[in-house]
Amino acid sequence: MCRTAVALALCGLCSAAPGLRAQAGESADARDQRLLARAESLDAGRQAAHAAAEARYRIGWLAHVVERHGLAIVVPAAAPDSSVRELADSASELLDEFGAIPQSFRASLVVVWPHADTAPVFSAGQYAGRRRVIILSPIVVLGADYSSERPPRSGSMLVGSVAELGRTAAGAVLRSYAKTLDDQWRAWLPDEYGLRSRTAGGEGRPWSMFAPGSSISGRGCLSGKASSCRLWFGLDDDADPYGSRYGAADLRALYQNMWLHNNHRNGRACLAGSDSACVAFAREIGQPLPVPADGGARRSLVRAVHDLRGAPALAAALADTTGSIGQRLARATGVSEDSLVLEWRRLVLGQGSALQSRAGGKEAVPALLFAGVLLLAAAGSGRWH
Amino acid sequence: MFRQILRAQWLAARLAVVILGVLAFAAPLLAVFWGGDLRSAGSDQVAYWLQGSERIAALLPYLALLVGVAAGFLAWSPDHAGRHVYALSLPVSRARFVALRFGAGAVITAVPALALLVGAIVASLSVSLPEGLHAYPAQLTLRFLLASLTLYAIIFALSISTKRAQLLTAGAIGGVILADLLLAAWDVHFSVTAETLVLLTTWPGPLSILAGAWTLFDV
């Protein structure tokens, strides 16, 4: 019995062996082909899915134009509509508050954010002839789920706050307007000139506005000398900006921390103690900037003119092409350049409020009078209690 | 007689005056506690230092208030305790006695002011300021003294006034607050309290000395 079972098992194995041999021989090719076909099928499916996702992705980047209050903004379609409208409102509000740029100029622009496919927008239609103001920073962040059935538009969000992006747009409009002005204004105006400050104020005085270590004119302006303020702001057409606006000691202190002087005869002579060489070296390399006041200070001057004299005065100054910057501001505002810079200084030191006074005779009088009146009242009271 | 009254008032107020004097001396020194070599410092560092100095300076009006209130209350507290028997027994007119008391209290308010002056001078000498920044110890002390004197005069007069006058004063203050509440309830955007404070603290208002620059170091 046992021998029979073993014999039957052996026969079964022998009969199956040819089949196995046949299958092994077949899978070496057919299996490879089968697997290859499967892989190609899967790859085709993956590519189709990727293409569909790409198509949905590209839809998200189609240009979408939002026009609010005369300002046209082109953003990717992926940007949320309500946020873009708020952004446009924010930019328009800032530009309206500034008020020194003609409305017609704003209407001649289109502010364009990157990655938007703008060809259809500018090829024909109402925006065809408009000037493009390109903003280099991104505006949207897409969600990672490209395979979602929903279009990417609903999964995207803005980079940064609406207020900040609105400010970026307004700043771009201002820069574009500055490019239409003459050489003097283009060289003098800083970025975001004239826009309302982000913060209403703060504690402490804007000491850094004057950067007193950098120039003798800055220190003089801080001390209250109008002529120094004019030099510091570069308001006059100085034939020799470096000679008149910087002291040799200031230039020397600056160049000591720079490597540029190593290869310049004037630079080495300046550090060795020659004052004239310092000025000559400054003219040679164009460092520091001819206007000692930095962008923040010049921005605050533009803002001060706007706040103290009104947007029309500032608009008139920007449109003026005759004379120095100081003369243009003086003509437009109706005050002398000295008065203008002293008003600015008072505004900066007082942080927008009236400059706080030091205690003196004028302040002592009301206090002493009041104390005297109270003493009389106390002494004249009718009875003890 | 003034000397005796001054001595009596000093005995009543010495603890409070000494404590406030120490605080007044220390306040300017806090502004320079973290060093004061600013001549070679960058503009950012100077800005931060000035901000710290202004924060310390914001405490000085409250210190002046404390000095004035303490001197004003303590000027009459012994008389209130003794039911004015001592004052009534003196062979001087009420007006002269009140003037002597007032003068003595005014001298006492000068003690914390003097401490502030010493502290401010020490702080000014211990710091090297960059060009464009200055120290104002004398002006700061004068403002402190005048503010203390003004508040002392208010509390002094209220302390010696009749109950009727005190009730009238309290009623006036309460009336102003009530008016504001009523205006707010009717959605009227006008504040009687705010307008009154503006009038009092803007020159030539009697409390204008409390407004203004309290910083020791400034441009």
Residue B128: beta bridge partners? B37
Residue of B73, B94, B134, B141 to mutate, interface with A, max A Cβ within 10 Å: B94
Note the pLDDT of residue A66.
86
Instruction: Count how many pairs of residues, chain A against chain B, have C-beta atoms within 8 Å.
Output: 133
Map residue A145 onto helix, strand or coil: coil
Per-residue confidence at A116, pLDDT binned at 50, 70, 90? low
Pairwise CA distance, residues A356 & A369, whole Å: 21
pLDDT digits (tens, 9 = 90+) for A195-228: 887 654 444 455 556 655 567 888 788 778 899 9
Note the pLDDT of residue A354.
47
User: Angle at the Cα of B168 (from B165 to B171), degrees rounded to 5?
Assistant: 150
Per-residue confidence at A233, pLDDT binned at 50, 70, 90? very high
In this complex, the residue of A206, A357, A370 whose CB is nearest that of residue B213 is A357
Q: What is the mean pLDDT of chain A?
A: 79
Flag the least confident range among A14-28, A114-128, A303-317, B170-184: A14-28
Nearest to A242 by CA among A290, A302, A170: A290
Average pLDDT over residues B2-29: 90
Pairwise CA distance, residues A246 & A228, whole Å: 10
pTM for the structure as a whole: 0.62
Is the Cβ pair A382, B162 closer than 8 Å? yes
Predicted complex ipTM:
0.71
Note the pLDDT of residue A381.
60
Q: Are strands A109-112 and A140-141 parallel, antiparallel or unpaired?
A: unpaired
Total number of residues shown for chain B: 219
Q: How far is A56 from chain B (nearest CA, A)?
A: 50
Percent of chain B whose predicted confidence (pLDDT) is above 90? 25
Nearest to B115 by CA among B75, B50, B64, B51: B64
Nearest to B20 by CA among B136, B211, B126, B152: B152
Average pLDDT over residues B8-26: 91
Residue of B79, B131, B168 to mutate, interface with A, max A Cβ within 10 Å: B131
Both structure tokens of A130: 């408009």
pLDDT digits (tens, 9 = 90+) for A67-110: 888 888 888 887 888 888 888 999 999 999 998 888 889 888 88
In this complex, the residue of B50, B94, B139 whose CB is nearest that of residue A204 is B50
In this complex, the residue of A213, A360, A370 whose CB is nearest that of residue B153 is A370
Note the pLDDT of residue A385.
45
Average pLDDT over residues A47-62: 77
A364 at B interface, C-beta within 8 A = yes
